[in-house]
Amino acid sequence: MSAPFGDRLAEAVRRCRTPLVVGLDPHWEGVAKLFDLSRTPSPADAAEAVHKFCTGVIDAVRELVPGVKVQVAFFERWGPPGMEALARVIAHAHRAGLLVLVDAKRGDIGSTATAYAQAYLGPEAPWPADALTVNPYLGPDTFAPFVQLAQAQDRGVFVLVKTSNPESHTWQDLTDREGTAVFEHIAQQVEQLAQSSAGQSGYGSVGAVVGATYPEQLARLRSQMPHAWLLVPGLGAQGATAADVAGAFDSQGLGAVVNCARAILFAWQREPFSHWGARRWQRATEQATRFWIEQLRQRTPGGKL
């Protein structure tokens, strides 16, 4: 890599003038309906359809956004053919000039964590991510191997801090005697690592996943982690609006990338894009992407880019 991840992400966001990243979550039901396929395919046939779908999405959005976020689960479910398709999708995105954020939420200890890190962040990674999501809830030693390898390879890590799911508060919001929530303790660790790896952009190679579905906490965490990029899921299908993510940005419109998946991927099934139909689904994908780019420009500091 030619520059630290934090700076590469800043450059890509500035170049595209948007913080939007498109989530590649190829739900089989939607893919099967689009291509009129069997609901119970062989793993090889399913993996090929998923590859066709994801590369089609990439081709539709490659000129519009800085990157894609690939959800590993939708490939892993198809076994070896699915994971081979994942490698091909990552390669296609890189050839298109996109950053690839791999959402695998890996987390383990010691040599096991190191092995996971090598798979996605190492110099010979079979699934070479520009950044990887990591689950820290086993403790700081969970993500240390990922951070070390990411920094050595000019790649990035996004640590789960405050997730977008409805029941994340059950454990993440528990507080200590001083009133500090569990997610805030993790945020402190992330900020230390981000500050120590900050480049010319002011942002480091270690960032945080913070859900758009909790806008007040999102804004608070932005102030608590001034050197950390925020990866913000939840826009669109999970119910968050562009206005909900406004607090994720710094005053220049940087500091956050906002993920939108189903509302873009399957736009051909939904108004106001359904008139394109399945035959012109890529056009619907492109128009939905433009729609969310404009929403973020109008309702967040991302409009300053």
- The residue annotated as part of the active site, out of 33, 52, 69, 105, is 105
Closest CA to 284 of 298, 267, 301, 299: 267
Is residue 217 exposed (0-12), middle (13-18) or buried (19+ Cβ within 10 Å)? buried
C-alpha–C-alpha distance, residues 290 and 246, integer Å: 18
The answer to whether the beta carbons of residues 156 and 229 sit under 8 Å apart is: yes
Is 304 a catalytic site residue?
Answer: no
Could you tell me the two tokens for 217? 């906490």
Could you tell me the two tokens for 42? 């062989």
Is the sign of the CA dihedral 135, 139, 140, 143 positive or negative?
negative
Spatial CB neighbours of 56, under 8 Å, sequence gap ≥ 6: 281, 282, 285
User: Cα separations (Å) of 81 from 13, 32, 44, 163, 227?
Assistant: 33, 17, 5, 30, 39
Q: Tell me the sheet residues that pair with 209.
A: 160, 231
| Element containing residue 208 per DSSP (H, E) | strand 206-210
List residues with catalytic annotation. Answer: 105
